[in-house]
Amino acid sequence: MIENRMKIWLNESSRIIKETLHFAEPVPGIKAEPHERNACYFHVVIANPQGFPFEGGTFKLELFLPEEYPMAATKVCFMIKIYHPNVDNLGRICLDILKDKWSPALQICTVLLSIQALLSTLNPDDSLANDVAEQWKTKEAQAIETARTWARLYAMNNI
């Protein structure tokens, strides 16, 4: 029993190491570094997402690999405020691959690329922040201006 658990742990650790090494080859606009004392915890920065209203921002996130990874989805959270219908005021993200569409075939890089894409393609019909989503649906110009303001306040010059 202990021997089987050790084999599983070694396989999971090997995968985490391989995925971490993948970040040695830069992904445009994404930087992920494991914490020095915990290889399952990553500091992430998604910079300069293309498209309004977040362009020019630098967004800090935390990524955590649960004990069951890769059988369980990664946990990702924005560490700065963002005015986005798919991100709530606690920084939690509404993204299907972080929930019911998770697959062990997905990797850290895939998750972060999906979050980067979410910054360019909002989905107010599958929101986590209902008040923000409602504003995007009914007063889009005002929502865009609020998002730009928040990006300037919280996501620029914050590194």
Closest CA to 159 of 42, 23, 46: 46
For residues 100 and 77, what is the distance between their CA atoms, to the nearest angstrom? 17
Given the residues 40, 77, 94, 109, select the one marked as catalytic: 94
Q: How many C-beta atoms lie closer than 10 Å to residue 59's C-beta?
A: 27
Is 3 buried (19+), middle (13-18) or exposed (0-12) by CB count in 10 A?
A: exposed
Q: Is 40 a catalytic residue?
A: no
Is 84 buried (19+), middle (13-18) or exposed (0-12) by CB count in 10 A?
A: buried
End-to-end CA distance of the chain: 46
Catalytic center residues:
94
